[in-house]
Every structure is written in structure tokens, then in C-alpha cells.
Amino acid sequence: MTVYFIADIEVTDDRWVPSYAAEVHKIVESHGGRYLSRSGRIEVLEGEAKHGTLIAIIAFPSADAVRAFLDDPAYRPHLEARKAGSVSRLQL
């Protein structure tokens, strides 16, 4: 069953973003993921605005595929860079 992975990210240091954007897409695809949306244009229509800078919505074939992506050794340096340069909320 398709699951949706939502990354809501508040960038605090943008040095990691170019490499992340260039490399992570391929890693996502290797786990069956497909970006549905990836944008910095966030408009809150209802509710309290968060401090998000970027949002990504990715369809994966299963929750296990999401976890495999997050645990992939190829993703590890990007994960660490993102954690060092952002406050992230990842949802499944």
C-alpha cells in the first residue's frame, strides 16, 4: 500500500541544501519513492503557521521502504547535514 512521507523542514543553515537536493532524489528513487511535491513556497491557509522553510511530500510503496531509505548508508551524510542545518519534522 502506498504511504506518504512528509518532510517539513525549517532551514537554520542552508549550506547542506544544494548537495541534498542534487543527491537525495536518486536515493529516494532507489527505495521506490517518488516526489509528489518539493517546495519552499509554503502558504498557511488555516491554523497556526510553523517556521517551515521547505516541505516535501514523497510517495513510497510501503512504510518499510521509507525506513529503508532513512537507514540507507548512502543517505547517512545527507541526513547528518540536514540535522545539523535544520529543525525537521518527518511524518509518515
The pLDDT, as a whole number, for residue 20 is 94
Residues in Cβ contact with 80 at an 8 Å cutoff, skipping those fewer than 6 apart: none
Per-residue pLDDT reduced to its tens digit, 12-32: 999 999 999 999 999 999 999
Rounded Cα distance between 22 and 17, Å, is 8
Distance between alpha carbon 17 and the CA centroid of its chain, in Å? Answer: 11
Amino acid at 70: L
Distances (CA, A) of 75 to 20, 22, 27, 51, 66: 9, 12, 7, 25, 12
The pLDDT, as a whole number, for residue 33 is 98
Per-residue pLDDT reduced to its tens digit, 40-80: 888 888 988 777 789 999 999 999 999 999 999 999 999 99
Distances (CA, A) of 55 to 73, 89, 91: 23, 10, 11
